[in-house]
Structure 1
Amino acid sequence: MKPVRLILIPATGSQPAPFLIIGADGYVLDRGELTLDGGAAPEPMRTVAVTPGGDVLIRWLDLPPGSTVQGRAAAAWMLRDQVAATPDRLATVLGPPTAPGEPRLVAVVSRSLMEAWTDYLAALGVRADVLVPDVLTLGEPEADDTLSAVSFGEGMALRGRRFAATVQPDLVELIAGGRRIAPVQDPAAVERALVATALAPAINLLDTGEREATAAGGWRRAAILATLVILSPLVLVSAGAIRDNIAARDARSEALAAIAAVSPDLAREPDPVEALRRLVAAAPPPGGITAAAAALFTAVEAVEGAELDILIADPDDGMKATISHPAHGDMTVIRRSMADAGMAVTETGTLEDGGRVVSDITIGAAR
């Protein structure tokens, strides 16, 4: 095996890029920094570039069996509410295959950002064979309640059991959520993790496959392919389907009984479950109308070009609003902001008007 170069991509393109040259035996043969004005191009060799992890969404998902293309589409569909961009602007990458029933590593990153990273490396005179987020250079800790923490530039990489995120240092305690933080401060230990990554990366963000897999039809195509993942191995045995139908019918009967116990009026509705959903959607948000309005103003202001056109508070129908914004993905940002305030946003209507998107929403308590 020939030597491998590992490069740490800095947060800003004006900074130099630290590198290691690693031999087949895992020993570091050389270390230093590459700069944009470094003169002659570095020696060509396999290159693994470590990217800022804060720019990559990392999850472990239960993906149905299927092809790699279908797996990417299923993952993109599952994560559609967690990203603020359309599929053609994102790359969804799968980690190594796992045993049946085990969740699979998935990473989502902006295609334009990947292009910026590869352009930066090209300016240094190198070409990346692998791009891997900094947080995935850390191994999983043994304890479920522990997060390993390593500082990469201005970010703090946190690695847990089936958890990985790079965040701002002041958000570490919030993201940890009560889990114990185990800082990795020994430079030798960090270097050993980087060496292991160079020899066996956990994922390659460049392994995006055919772009058309999700770009050609947007979310609709992703949804279709995700459905194919579920249906293509025809494992829907009739006995299993019957069992599931019976279980669903029993669950509905239990739900109706529970609704009748707490609200006889709802139980008399033609569809008590749907009536309960409407009631919950119209439930007042936490803190009342004033708090909800303040949270909504803050959420709208966070989206460039977004405007709050209408805001209505009705005792029967709940709190409603109409928002005009530049792109469909803007509502994802607004929903996240409202969720952080303990409120749920439900889109009841969307249309395009003069090149802008107009969304009607209801605001209620987060469920």
Structure 2
Amino acid sequence: MARTLLLWLPTQAALNRGDACEPSWLRVDDGVIVDSGQDDGWVDAWERPQDDRGDDRLVALAPVADVPLRWHHYPDAAPAQAAAIARLDTLRTSLGDAAALHIVAGQPADAGQAVPVAVTTHAAMTAWTEWLKAQGLAPAAIIPAAATVPPPDADSLWTAELGREQVLRTDDRAFASDPELDPLIAAERPIVPLDAERMREALLLSLSAPPLDLLSGAWQPKRSWAIDPAMVQWIKRLAIALLVVSLLIPIIYAIRVNSDISRADEAVVASAKKAGVTATDAAAAEAEIDRRLAAAGGGPLAFSVPASALYDAMRDTPGVALKTLSHRTDGTLTTTIAAPRTEDLNAVLLSLQARGYKVTAQPMAGTDGQQMANITVRAVP
């Protein structure tokens, strides 16, 4: 259930005098006035268990004596533009120090509608906010009480009672009533009491769609950021999940790689078995096959394998000549190569290493001025 407490603020003069303030109040539940008074009964009317607050809302009404209102008309201006112009016009025609004034303009719903403008002081706003704070209250809005009085009929004025104040409402102004000044302001127009039922309807309508709010500009409440414990718990769980996933990815990848390696080793052992080689693992099977190939003079230990790699490397480097060449049964190729420059010899060595062979070299100077190197090339990469 949505509850709204409507609380009339004391006048600034009463607060400055330190008078005991028992404000007028109304309690509205779901758009219906269910309780009211002009005492401290609002405290009991507002109390509710903390876990049953729901959509509770406190709206304060600023006294007419401290916040008179005027409505401006700008038929050709857009709503936002009309509000800005009305505020500037009111500031220009107001008395007193502009820095001490708090001027708030409402924004009409459509172009051509009247713009309500409230004028009060920062001193009054300070007094009201401190009084509310002393009561432990934080209002959702502070609405000028005069803004709740509907416009009168043509060629007449309304007088209405709001809280403990009497309000005079013309077609373009609303201010505190004065028995001596009211006839002069009326200028022979009739002053008609506003029906209480109609006033209550207008008051409830103002709660649902406030024409303006004094808690704006310098008095707009600072937004407070509250950390939702449920959201914090959700973030913690998400962080833990991300950490677990980040750890599982490399673990799963390692398991898959090891599984692939195991399957490859099993395939090697199975292939070696078909060739008549009995081995416990792939490394043993490969060593036995290499041994048999070497004994037969073939396989990667054969002379042709490293020799072809050497000839390919020399072909890529013109100017390199082969001086000696020998081959051992363990697959090692021994040779002496010569070239006009050391860079050409290095190119051959690098080419052999790029092909995956293990190469050793011993440089020396030739008798004919050429650069020479005794190199060995392992036939098995």
Query: TM-score if structure 1 supplies the norm length?
Result: 0.48
TM-score (norm 2): 0.47
Larger Rg: 2
Structure with a larger share of its residues in strand: 1
Which structure has more relative contact order (CA 8 Å, sep 6+)? It is 1
